[in-house]
């Protein structure tokens, strides 16, 4: 049963998403999506979760599930799974966005990744669909192009490495401006709820405020968590071998290794200003993220093991 309130106004040519129509949050149980959904709900906005466990269920790999989840929606937050830089993503995101536009969605916000050729193709697919060929005036689109998530250390693929005491990555001594996904959610919600179109056509490069090497990130996590933790630079081949040994299917391990080797070759070793451009404040520092994650107990400490 849907808990979404009835729209207060019917669909119209309104581009501003003020009609009270639900916002579809794809990946709505994931790292960014659940934070976006929580914020929208706190603002009193009706939210529909787009995921395989949502109601109705939504699956990126099954286009027959898309129309039901888009029905009556005013805006969509698109967090593609598994990764918008992967080869199938641009075609899927483009088809999904086209359907959304055709069904009357007025605003599309895409979570993207910095420095990834595949992600650029996904962005272009979204922009083409949103330009609304044959649909009329087109719809607002905004891209939130993020750096490496800080939360990858606590909620994603680097958590087992942190708990095991060694973060081994094909990243050399490169520096990365890890972004706190709380900032991504703040930016996305500002865009989704803006009463006008000031974010339309914008590409926000959202990063943290400081460059850190993985060794420095590991040191900060070690200090806050009380765990012994170090960074070990490895080759791409070593990364693939380790990932397969840990149970990652070989094709996925190869894709992930290529992606990591690409984004961590130094091309992203600079700060972006997207958080300030979108919401007028500085991004959260990595140390704030680390303190918060440590206080939440995700890393425990070795004494507690």
Of 92-100, 143-151, 205-213, 223-231, the window that binds ligand NAP (rule: CB under 6 A) is 143-151
Peptide bond preceding 62: is omega within 30 degrees of 0, i.e. cis?
A: no
Q: Which residues contact 155 (CB under 8 A, 6 or more apart)?
A: 31, 298
* 230 lies in the binding site for ligand NAP (CB under 6 A): no
Among 188, 178, 150, CA closest to 293: 150
4, 59, 238, 258: which one contacts ligand NAP (CB under 6 A)? 59
* 239 lies in the binding site for ligand NAP (CB under 6 A): no
Among 146, 80, 150, 68, CA closest to 108: 80
* 289 lies in the binding site for ligand NAP (CB under 6 A): no
Query: How much is the CA Rg of the chain, to the nearest whole Å?
Result: 20
Of 39-47, 78-86, 131-139, 241-249, the window that binds ligand NAP (rule: CB under 6 A) is 78-86
Contact by Cβ (8 Å): 108, 50: no
Q: Which is nearer to ligand NAP, 52 or 223 (CB)?
A: 52
Kindly report the CA angle at 232 between 258 and 87, in degrees rounded to 5?
A: 10
Helix, strand, or coil (residue 164): helix
* 31 lies in the binding site for ligand NAP (CB under 6 A): yes
Which residue has the CB atom at the shortest distance from ligand NAP? 30
111, 121, 290, 293: which one contacts ligand NAP (CB under 6 A)? 111
Peptide bond preceding 82: is omega within 30 degrees of 0, i.e. cis?
A: yes
- Minimum CB separation of residue 300 from ligand NAP in Å reads 21
**Burial class of 303 by CB neighbour count within 10 A (0 to 12, 13 to 18, 19+):** exposed
Q: Which is nearer to ligand NAP, 156 or 198 (CB)?
A: 156
32, 92, 154, 268: which one contacts ligand NAP (CB under 6 A)? 32
Site for ligand NAP in 33-52 (CB under 6 A): 33, 51-52
* 148 lies in the binding site for ligand NAP (CB under 6 A): yes
Contact by Cβ (8 Å): 294, 225: yes
Site for ligand NAP in 10-29 (CB under 6 A): 27-29
- Minimum CB separation of residue 13 from ligand NAP in Å reads 30
What is the contact surface with ligand NAP in residues (CB under 6 A)? 27-33, 51-53, 58-61, 79-81, 83-85, 111, 113, 146, 148-149, 152, 156
């Amino acid at each position: 049963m849907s808990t979404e309130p009835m729209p207060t106004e019917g669909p119209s040519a309104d581009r501003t998403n003020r009609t009270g129509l639900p916002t579809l949050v794809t990946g709505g149980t994931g790292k960014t999506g659940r934070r976006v959904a929580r914020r929208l709900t706190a603002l009193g906005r009706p939210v529909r979760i787009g995921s395989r466990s949502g109601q109705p269920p939504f699956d990126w790999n099954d286009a027959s599930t898309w129309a039901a989840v888009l029905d009556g929606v005013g805006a969509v937050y698109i967090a593609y799974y598994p990764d918008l830089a992967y080869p199938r993503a641009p075609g899927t995101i483009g088809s999904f966005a086209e359907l959304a536009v055709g069904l009357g969605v007025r605003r599309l916000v895409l979570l993207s990744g910095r420095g990834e050729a595949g992600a650029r193709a996904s962005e272009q697919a979204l922009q083409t669909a949103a330009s609304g060929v044959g649909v009329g005036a087109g719809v607002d689109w905004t891209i939130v192009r993020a750096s490496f998530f800080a939360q990858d250390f606590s909620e994603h693929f680097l958590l087992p490495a942190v708990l095991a005491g060694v973060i081994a990555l094909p990243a050399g001594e490169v520096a990365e401006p890890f972004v706190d996904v709380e900032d991504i959610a703040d930016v996305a919600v500002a865009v989704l709820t803006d009463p006008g179109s000031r974010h339309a056509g914008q590409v926000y490069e959202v990063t943290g405020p400081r460059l850190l090497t993985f060794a420095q990130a590991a040191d900060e996590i070690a200090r806050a968590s009380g765990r012994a933790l170090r960074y070990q630079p490895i080759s791409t081949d070593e990364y693939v071998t380790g990932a397969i040994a840990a149970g990652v299917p070989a094709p996925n391990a190869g894709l992930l290794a290529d992606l990591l080797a690409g984004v961590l070759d130094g091309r992203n070793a600079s700060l972006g200003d997207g958080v300030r451009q979108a919401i007028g404040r500085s991004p959260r520092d990595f140390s704030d993220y680390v303190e918060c994650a440590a206080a939440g107990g995700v890393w425990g400490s070795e004494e507690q093991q």
